[in-house]
Structure 1
Amino acid sequence: MSGRIAVVYLLARLVTTAFLLLAAGRSTSLSRFGVAPSLREFIVGWDGQWYWWVAVHGYPSTLPVTPDGLVGENAWAFMPVYAYVSDGVGFGDWAVGALTVSLVSGYLACLVLHRMLSPRIGASAALWAVAFFAAGPLAALFQVGYAESLFVLLLLLALEAVLRRRYGRLYLILPVMGFTRPSILAFALFLGLHGILRWVRRDREPLPVRHVVHIVALGVLSTVVGFAWQVICGLVTGDPSGYLRTELAWRRNWIVDASPEFVPFEGFVRGAEFWVGRAGLPPWVGWTLLVLLVATAAVLLLRDPSVRRLGPEIRLWSASYLLYLLAVFFPQSSTLRLLMPLTPLWGAPASSRSRLRRWGMLGLCLLAQWLWILSMYGLADTFYRIP
């Protein structure tokens, strides 16, 4: 099966390369990348430029301040693992290293995804899930300087460890994962919910004391790691809120009156108001749409048969991560990229036995991938075309 996965992944990468080349041909002087950019320019574009900066220059000891006295955009928003691993793998050529890390991580993630889903939906359906993942809307992230590919690999390894009750592996995975992308607190919530589920079902699945100790200890570890970067940033810069204020600097690109301090769940509420406001609609329309969106996601995770087939752990992780996004992010053009950690949910459409539905889903994946690449790398000319 690993050979088939390799073929699927290779074909998907060839398609993505073709899409990137086509997007480069559509790029104009209005684009962030200029006329006819090279694939190398795409690799180090957008967030890739920030990761390169971290690898070469490190992190600032003094936070930049805007004319109105607020913290400006800076490298502290980008975790160190991907930046430095890419630099090491590329032996000083960061773009080569980043491409290698993203490509290899994506392939390994495909292997883990198939291994994780096969017992739940069957080997053939799991291969379709791999195809959707490898050729999906965000497939370009396997070939550019973004940390998502590496993070998803670590996440899938962590989820697989929980599914197999191999908790000891997590002591090595979670710290690396926590310094790759800022989503480890979602995993802490997942571990808490997983522990409650194990306790409720202890009459059907024995719950040894050592498992209880592992779950509690790992929950504490992931929580500590989740706040560690904020502490490190505060110690280096002398500003205890430096990391959160750095993250908020990007939010001010969207709303000029953004709060100078982080307030949980404010981002999505303000985002709902912002997007309906651009259509000339009152704020309550945005609030209503947000409630409907959350309710729809909850119904799918709780009631949809194809999602339920994936098992409670995958559903608990998905719910934990979505709640985390609601709590900390502002919905904008990068939101689609931030959904990549929901990768295990590809098992839901893949579990369909209809060949027409499977091929139709693959076609939609490729279409969405092309539109995303064209918008974010080909056109790249306005505020809602930022990956």
Structure 2
Amino acid sequence: MQGSGQTVRRPEQAAPGLLLDLADRITRRRALLLPAAVYLGVRALGVVVLTVFAALHDTDLLSKIAAWDGQWYLKIAASGYELEPTTDAFGHLNPHTRRAFFPGYPFLIRLLAPALGFPAAALVVSLAAGLFAAYGLARLGRLVRGGSRRAGYILVALFAATPMSVVLTMAYTEALFCALAVWTLVAVLERRWEPAGVCCLAAGLVRSTALALVVAVVVATLMALTRREDGGRPLVALALAPAGLFGYLWWTGMRVRPESGFEAQLSTWSDLEWQGWRTRFDGGVSTARFVAEVLTGSDSAMSALTVAVIAGALIGMAVLARRETVLVVYAAGVLVMCLGSSALMHAKPRLLLPAFTLLVPVALALAKRRTNTVLWVCSGVALASAWFGAFALTVWQYAI
């Protein structure tokens, strides 16, 4: 039509535009759903294999999902910390044993328990936190040097298939802590200092591994301040990051040793760990002794697998060393805390789960491979992880 000042698009001209718009919508929806689909698919495989093992060994599946530490968290969620003396791992009555477990996870359980009941609420919190972590990992895989959307999806798959990732679908704190940790690291890489500080603060209320995260955030903020980046905003993260962890440690000391000095109160939590579980930092002496004993005479499959995971983590640390500083410092902190502790040796694979940044170089390398190679590798790792978790919960008869 002439003289109207408008151009009329013919149907054959409009069709390509509609197709491009449709393709763009499909791409966006795929990007939105894929991290959840990858994570849930790998974890569903783990649950299926665990169910089969539980049936083969005549084991109650639900009791295993809420076993060991899970029982402590459920009790704290139901009744709090102020209860009669509780029997610790050595059968000793201690009125303060529960305080060795941080309050963040049981607090969330307690919020959902009126609608779901305590065991179901614990599993829902872990599931939601795992999904939250998956989206953080997908973003982390895009943010790192040489990263991509594809690398992010692979990183999600590898995390969901980490050795002992079975605890991500149990009444344990790993899923919640990893979710807060990965979003802290994402915020640091994006130089969003306020969210980084808040997430790190929250992680400090979930487990002691937050010390590694606090150190990583502090190093990153000091580097930013030295370079005079972002004005004074890094100071917000510097102030918030340690508040959760050290606030809980101080509060625990105040409740257990109200008349003691500040330093003694901060060390109270470590004393509870030692009294209840014979766990303390010994510079790696206990871990080295355990590895030597396994390599020279153990016939336990679980022991051999634990040593293999430790070796893999150390190799991963060497490979990660040239990546972004905040990722390296965080992973190194987790390794030092885990391998330098006299904690249960067979719990090491679980305690290393938060060191997910060790998987970043693997994800980046796989992202450059053909799709078939990626699928075969991720499927194989997922099957191995599913077997490892099922074996640990049903064949191995001790705590993990």
Deviation at 1:87, TM superposition (A): 2.7
Alpha-carbon separation, structure 2, partners of 1:62 and 1:155 = 34
CA distance in 2: counterparts of 1:19 and 1:350, whole angstroms = 25
Q: Report the CA distance between 1:359 and its aligned residue.
A: 3.6
Superposed CA offset, 1:358-380 (max 9, x none): 34532442233233222221113
Q: Which of 102, 108, 132 does residue 85 from structure 1 map onto? A: 108
Q: Which residue of 2 aligns with 1:179?
A: 205
**Deviations 1:46-103, CA, capped at 9 Å, x for gaps:** 2111111111222246766889999699322211111121132132611110111111
1:299 matched to which residue of 2?
318
Query: 1:125 — aligned with what?
Result: 151
Aligned to 2:347: 334
What pairs with 1:185-334 in structure 2 (closer than 5 Å)?
A: 185-198=211-224, 202=227, 207-218=229-240, 221-222=241-242, 224-238=243-257, 240=265, 241-252=267-278, 262=280, 264=281, 266=282, 268-277=284-293, 296=315, 299-303=318-322, 308=323, 311-328=324-341, 330=343, 332-334=345-347
Retained in 2: the 8 A contact 1:72–1:246?
Answer: no
Contact 1:23 1:373 in 2 (8 A): no
Change (3 A) 1:119 1:337: same
Q: Say which of 342, 354, 361 aligns to 2:369.
A: 354
Maintained 8 Å contact 1:267/1:330: no
Match of 2:38 in 1: 8
* Structure 1 Cα separation of the partners of residues 290 and 153 of structure 2: 40
Which of residues 36, 41, 56 in structure 2 aligns to 1:26? Answer: 56
Q: Deviations over 1:298-327 (max 9, x none)?
A: 532325xxxx3xx33222321233233345
Aligned mates of 2:311, 2:44 — CA distance in 1: 38
| Cα separation, partners in 2 of 1:60 and 1:350, compared to 1, 3 Å | same
Residue type of the alignment partner of 2:72 = W
Q: Across the two proteins, how many residue pairs are aligned to each other? A: 345
- In the alignment, what sits opposite 1:98? 122
Which residue in the other structure is 1:36 paired with?
59
Q: Aligned to 1:110, which of 134, 137, 158?
A: 134
Residue number in structure 2 paired with 1:371: 387
Structure 1: segments with no counterpart, 5+ residues: 28-34, 253-257, 282-288
Correspondence for 1:284 = none
Q: Distance in 1 between matches of 2:333 and 2:287?
A: 20
- Give how far 1:248 is off: 1.3
Displacement of 1:189 after TM fit?
1.4
Contact 2:287 2:345 in 1 (8 A): yes
Distance 1:279 1:109, change over 3 A: closer
Q: Separation in 2 of the partners of 1:112 and 1:189?
A: 20
Residue pair 2:225, 2:232 contacting (<8 A) in 1 also: no
Describe the SS at the equivalent of 2:346. coil
- Cα distance change, pair 131–192 in 1 and its aligned pair in 2 (3 A): same
Contact 1:61–1:237 (Cα < 8 Å) also in 2: no
Identity of aligned residues (%): 23
- For normalisation by structure 1, the TM-score amounts to 0.77
Equivalent in the alignment of 1:255: none
Greater gyration radius: 2
Pick the aligned partner of 1:147 from 146, 150, 173.
Answer: 173
Q: Which amino acid aligns with 1:88?
A: L
SS of 1:45's equivalent?
coil
